[in-house]
Amino acid sequence: MFTADIPKDPKPPFDHKQGAKENNAIGSLVLIPSSKYPACVEADGGGREDFEGWAGKIVGYEDKRKKVKVQIQGDKGLEHLPVAGSAKFALANLVRL
């Protein structure tokens, strides 16, 4: 995804507090920042400086809903990201698309 592809008004972060009604993120899209895989930026971004990262679809939860599985289009593997916390790539810290 490039800078122009990212919504100007991103959706609010997911609410994963116990009992929250908005805690089902399955099927939602998030931006996996290019800083997570710097070695892939040149090939996937086509050399453009405005490459922000990859769109990933949340396909499921694991570890008692403490982590999510994210599928990046065109990638065979799955990302396993924490739902909350201070980690740079935690779901709560990613841009929703």
Chunked into runs of 10 residues, the chain (97 residues) has average pLDDT values of 90 68 78 92 90 94 89 89 88 88
* Contact (CB, 8 A) for 11 and 94: no
| pLDDT score of 21 | 52
Q: Residue 31's closest CA among 5, 63, 49, 66? A: 5
Compute the CA torsion angle 45, 51, 78, 94 (nearest 10 deg): 180
Angstrom CA distances, 11 to 47, 52, 90, stand at: 28, 17, 16
Residue 36: the pLDDT is: 92
pTM of the model: 0.82
pLDDT at residue 9 in the model? 87
